Structure 1
């Protein structure tokens, strides 16, 4: 058969068949209508202000120089424990580097870092804040803010500028409160009531 004959035969076979008027397809376009739930969520997102869970403040910060030493100890921290911290004799379980961060970035990082350390029962940490020696005004901005922020966190028991091998006055050792489980374990271990 030739092509013309094939076409003729096809048309004879299709006699009486009508083409579909509308294709039978699913409508997959997303609905442009906003439901009441959409509208409520939109209104809530616009009207609710984001609440910052971070209690660290940047108001009234005493500005420190590159070589100023940081030191803080809460009541109840034993002198021997503080001395060991000051001398860098506790193993460092975590560290945070704040170099090249803005004050706001550092504020967020410090709060998140301390919160994570508490969650994982980390007690002795090192925070690298830098000395600020390259600042034209000779002010250690991040260090100054850190000196204000750390005492604002009730779980920070003590801190002190690091030994030279860990960064000197450009870093700080921080001791965090023991978790309830760690305190219980100590009581059991040492037989205290």
Structure 2
């Protein structure tokens, strides 16, 4: 995309639309109650990664961060951490979008999968790291309780969400890109 098109009305509308998709698809999932809180299998990360692949690091990061933070604001349990969610999801999409739009040495199909995988891994590391620190230093749990809370409960769900997000986002990107280019919505 040309530099002058970076902040166009069309681009802002696309960021807003993708943020709305992130928000809506985060509702589509299954809550998993645990003895120490809850976790969730959801499809919001699919849209976070798709936003990054389509809109690049900044546009995708804003869509992923805003949509996810708004979702957190709707639940009193997660609302206080909406700013952390914004940062984590922004980084997820920023990494994926950066690789997608800057790693031209990779074949296009390989680049899609590598970008989605790296974005998903970056989010998983940030999310699980935040939960370990919170468990140890905010909740005051021992390392043994933290292992159960984070590593046994949240890690499998986070990794499952990540795998589903990578597969679905890469397939959706591959399916949607030709039509979006033909409609002159996606450039390059």
TM-score range, shorter chain: under 0.3
Bigger relative CO (Cα 8 Å, ≥ 6 apart): 1
TM-score normalised according to structure 1 size: 0.26
Greater helix share, 1 or 2? 2
